[in-house]
């Protein structure tokens, strides 16, 4: 494998931090949110959030403090709408996906674009993102003791039969919680890690065996 392919031999996950944009859990949980973002970034992975204020903002700030990649999914359809209509931040994101789907549609887009979702604090929006991730069989991390939706979820999991109980992990420590999520993802994508190391997934970068250009449908 040449040097350029070796640089691509690392699978980067996109991990969503979902949490309250307002309410009492922000004051009590902003340090933990920043630690979630820092840990995701230090582990070499991408942080995704709803490009919003509150706990997701602090997670994005934590990721940027250690040089990580922060990707936001906005309910707005443009930067102007993002700032003026929704009054959301833009300064802690490397890229903002302007979904134009309002909050409900944005939540689903964010979850489907992430490999896992971590819930800290949270209100109904965070609960919506958690249940969407659970139904999509995505790994879910719950930061216990952070209040709001995060502390209600364990009881909901007992009352309502969950579709993927083995994909939900809990912890009171943000660093440990991120590493639990990474362990699940590493096991889930073990075959891809192997193929990346061996270069088998880079067929699209290798020279064509024939000078004839590939055919295009349509």
pLDDT digits (tens, 9 = 90+) for 61-114: 999 999 999 999 999 999 999 999 999 999 999 999 999 999 999 999 999 999
Which of 11, 44, 4, 46 is CA-nearest to residue 195?
11
In angstroms, the CA 145 to CA 136 distance is 25
**Which has the higher per-residue pLDDT, 3 or 35?**
35
Which of 15, 17, 44 is CA-nearest to residue 125?
17
Q: Taking 60 as the threshold, does the pLDDT of residue 8 lie above it?
A: no
Q: Taking 70 as the threshold, does the pLDDT of residue 4 lie above it?
A: no
Q: How does residue 217 score in pLDDT terms, banded at 50, 70 and 90?
A: low
Q: Taking 90 as the threshold, does the pLDDT of residue 194 lie above it?
A: no
The reported pLDDT for the residue numbered 163 is: 83
pLDDT digits (tens, 9 = 90+) for 156-186: 999 998 888 899 999 999 999 999 999 999 9
Tokens describing residue 47: 């942080």
Q: What is the chain's Cα-based Rg?
A: 19
The reported pLDDT for the residue numbered 17 is: 98
What domains appear along the chain, each with residue ranges and CATH number?
A: 14-154+162-203 (3.40.50.450)
**Which has the higher per-residue pLDDT, 165 or 204?**
165
The reported pLDDT for the residue numbered 210 is: 46
pLDDT digits (tens, 9 = 90+) for 112-152: 999 999 999 999 999 999 999 999 999 999 999 999 999 99
In angstroms, the CA 151 to CA 73 distance is 25
Average pLDDT over all residues of the chain: 90
């Amino acid at each position: 494998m040449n040097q350029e392919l070796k640089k691509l031999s690392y699978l980067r996950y996109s991990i969503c931090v979902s949490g309250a944009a307002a309410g009492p859990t922000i004051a009590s949980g902003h340090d933990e949110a920043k630690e979630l973002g820092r840990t995701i970034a230090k582990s070499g992975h991408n942080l995704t959030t709803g490009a919003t204020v509150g706990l997701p903002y602090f997670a994005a700030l934590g990721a940027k403090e250690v040089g990580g990649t922060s990707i936001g999914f906005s309910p707005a359809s443009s930067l102007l709408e993002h700032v003026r209509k929704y009054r959301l931040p833009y300064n802690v994101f490397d890229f903002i996906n302007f979904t134009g789907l309002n909050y409900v549609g944005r939540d689903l887009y964010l979850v489907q674009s992430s490999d896992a979702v971590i819930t800290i604090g949270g209100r109904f929006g965070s609960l919506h993102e958690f249940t969407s991730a659970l139904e999509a069989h995505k790994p879910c991390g719950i930061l216990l003791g952070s209040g709001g939706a995060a502390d209600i979820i364990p009881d909901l999991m007992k009352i309502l039969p969950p579709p993927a109980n083995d994909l939900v992990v809990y912890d009171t420590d943000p660093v440990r919680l991120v590493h639990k999520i990474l362990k699940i993802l590493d096991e889930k994508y073990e075959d891809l890690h192997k193929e990346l190391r061996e270069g088998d997934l880079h067929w699209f970068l290798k020279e064509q065996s024939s000078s004839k250009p590939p055919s295009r449908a349509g």
